């Protein structure tokens, strides 16, 4: 496959960015999108040019690092995948592919396609945990939990914090991320003790860090690589309401 790549280049957080066009040839349809960028960078290095900076880690759809906006879609033209799971057979020979970083106030650009996602870490640090004494793991059946609740909690915990929900939302809202982290604990007895403080603290931190409000368009759910449901946002709203009613 021969492709034209229109890639966002930005020297640093304060520099003015721009798109640059690159021609790349003989790309295998079976290679992943990140492997294609690797080949582009090899080509740029051979031409004594600066390679494109982009985030990646596990390349197995688990870490959430490969945050790219591809042809106007988070993670590209496929359903419930991360960028590293996107294969070049989703494109056609001769296509022009536009590659951008996440666009959100909460995710400032570091360089080229890399963004700073420390905001998610700060939200988690504000309340996305339980306080418990460490020690040996309890028996699996020590605290009975209904199968439906356990499975729903596990579905929420599948969130990898990639930020596709924020990048896709017209308001750059982080509600799907925050709600998934609240839900995975709110559904379990271990998370009940700190539930009131958790919901309020995480929402307040989300607002403080510059993320927008949720208007329930559902774009976040559509582009989430793990299929996190909007139902969790409803639960977060209930938890937040209760937190503000209690002293």
pLDDT at res. 193: 87
* 146-189 pLDDT, tens digit each: 999 999 999 999 999 999 999 999 999 999 999 999 999 999 99
Say how far apart CA 87 and CA 93 lie, in whole Å: 13
Please say if the pLDDT value at position 144 is more than 90.
Answer: no
Could you give the percent of the chain with pLDDT greater than 90? 87
pLDDT at res. 141: 77
* Beta strand pairing call for 69-70 and 73-74: antiparallel
Say how far apart CA 3 and CA 47 lie, in whole Å: 18
Q: Can you give the pTM of this predicted structure?
A: 0.93
pLDDT at res. 185: 94
Please say if the pLDDT value at position 143 is more than 90.
Answer: no
- Give the pLDDT band (50/70/90) at residue 25: very high
pLDDT at res. 192: 87
Mean pLDDT of 66-83: 96
- Give the pLDDT band (50/70/90) at residue 226: very high
pLDDT at res. 78: 94
Helix 175-186, helix 147-157: angle, nearest 10? 150
Domains belonging to the chain, first-starting first, are 3-111 (3.10.20.30), 118-245 (1.10.1060.10)
């Amino acid at each position: 496959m021969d492709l034209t790549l229109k890639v966002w280049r930005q020297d640093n957080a304060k520099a003015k960015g721009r798109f640059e066009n690159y021609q790349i040839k003989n790309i295998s349809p079976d290679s992943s999108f990140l492997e294609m960028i690797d080949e582009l960078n090899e080509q740029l290095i051979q031409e004594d040019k600066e390679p494109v900076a982009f985030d990646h880690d596990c390349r197995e759809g688990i870490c959430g690092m490969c945050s790219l906006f591809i042809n106007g879609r988070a993670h590209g033209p496929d359903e419930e995948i991360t960028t590293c799971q996107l294969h070049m057979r989703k494109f056609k020979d001769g296509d022009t592919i536009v590659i951008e970083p996440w666009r959100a106030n909460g995710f400032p650009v570091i360089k080229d396609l890399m963004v700073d996602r420390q905001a998610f870490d700060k939200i988690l640090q504000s309340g996305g945990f339980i306080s418990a004494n460490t020690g040996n793991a309890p028996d699996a059946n020590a605290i009975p939990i209904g199968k439906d609740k356990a499975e729903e909690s596990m579905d929420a915990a599948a969130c990898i914090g990639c930020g596709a929900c924020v990048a896709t939302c017209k308001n750059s809202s982080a509600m799907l991320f925050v709600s998934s982290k609240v839900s995975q604990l709110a559904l379990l007895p271990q998370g009940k003790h700190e539930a009131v403080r958790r919901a309020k603290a995480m929402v307040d931190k989300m607002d403080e860090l510059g993320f927008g409000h949720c208007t329930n368009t559902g774009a976040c759910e559509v582009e989430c690589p793990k299929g996190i449901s909007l139902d969790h946002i409803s639960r977060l709203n209930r938890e937040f309401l209760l937190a503000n009613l209690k002293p």
